[in-house]
Amino acid sequence: MRRISTHAAVIVALGLLGFVPSLADGLEKTMAFDVEKPLPLPSLAGQGEPLADLTLENLFSAGWSDRWAKRPHPDGTPDLTLLRVQSNLLLQSLRTDAYLENPTSASGDKRVEYASPLIEYALNRRLMLGGFGTIQEVDKQAGGGRNGWTYGGLTRIQLIDREDASYAFNWKLTAPNRGLGDRQTLSGFALAGWHDLSPVGLSHVGVYWHVQEETLLGPRTPSARQNDLTYDLSLARTWTSPVRAIGNLSTFVEAYSKTDLDGGHRGRTVITVTPGIRGTLGRHHVLMFGVDLPVNSPRPYDELYRVTYIFSF
């Protein structure tokens, strides 16, 4: 039954993205890339001129002394932050991620709650620093439970920033959550990207991806995992312009996988699909909702409900 519901959710998500023509046509007629006189967008470039492209060729010569600016896409496909895929662009924002997990009955857990505030601050067009904290509570089926908190930091370097593509390198370091029994520090390196698919006929659709290697640093048992690989491929379809009451209203689906590279379950891969929706209120407030649905065994949980709030400076 759960397998049927998972497949149904994926079909619904693809329909929301615009691959079901009847739904896409209806939304195109009622939502808003047909504004003749949109509200003026603020100049993020400083002098009102288009942002210069950042590329690998000018990696060491361009962007480092420029004031940070987020590239605007008033009429095209916006570059968005989603729920699970690593971000490919620099930001100045406060973000809070939260989720509620329904564990499998075999796990012995009844419910898992998680919240993580994050501050991201771009120093220029090439470099961003960030810091975060997390708190997690696990309720047991037999009663009682445990909770703990931790913290960490991240660095993001913009490799490429063009009108139709963006690439970034991410490094994230997370301290162990000792309240939950963790003893190892988690280090993750990721390459993340975005491409506008309008040139290939998919109007206002963007593809997002990342590849990340994670390493657990610290004491471990001989059979414990030390390294894993996560990878994500996501599609987002944007239905409204940024100047609407709900700006850049977008539906998306994320396919996220994690593979153990060593340890007792070397080669094991867990795959989940996350359909979701996001929108911007008042140009500064972003809300996102989604649900993680496992698609293969062993299942890490039955389902996981996500909500994210972002305030952009």
CA distance 287 to 310: 7
CB atoms within 10 A of CB 236: 27
Asked whether the bond before 74 is cis by omega within 30 degrees of 0, the reply is no
Chain mean position to CA 40: 28
CB 174 within 8 A of CB 186: yes
CA distance 120 to 156: 9
In a domain, 104, yes or no: yes
Greater pLDDT, 295 or 5: 295
Overall average pLDDT of the 153-175 stretch:
98
Total domain count for the chain? 1
Overall average pLDDT of the 146-155 stretch:
97
What is residue 35's predicted lDDT score, i.e. its pLDDT? 41
CA distance 292 to 271: 10
What is residue 50's predicted lDDT score, i.e. its pLDDT? 85
Supply 201's token pair: 């006929």
CA distance 230 to 217: 17
CA distance 41 to 153: 32
Chain mean position to CA 110: 26
Residue 201: domain span:
2-37+70-312
CA distance 101 to 112: 5
Alpha helix stretches (DSSP H) within 260-307? none
In a domain, 262, yes or no: yes
Give pLDDT tens digits for 11-60. Answer: 444 444 444 333 444 444 445 554 433 444 443 444 457 899 999 999 99
Phi, psi of 2 (to 5 degrees): -65, -35
What is residue 27's predicted lDDT score, i.e. its pLDDT? 44
In a domain, 106, yes or no: yes
- Dihedral over Cα of 118, 295, 278, 79: its sign: positive
CB 229 within 8 A of CB 268: no
CATH number at residue 225: 2.40.160.40
In a domain, 57, yes or no: no
Give pLDDT tens digits for 55-87. Answer: 999 999 999 999 999 999 888 899 999 999 999
Q: pTM of the full predicted structure?
A: 0.86
CA distance 99 to 307: 6
Question: Which residues, in sequence order, are bridge partners of residue 234?
Answer: 208, 254
In a domain, 62, yes or no: no
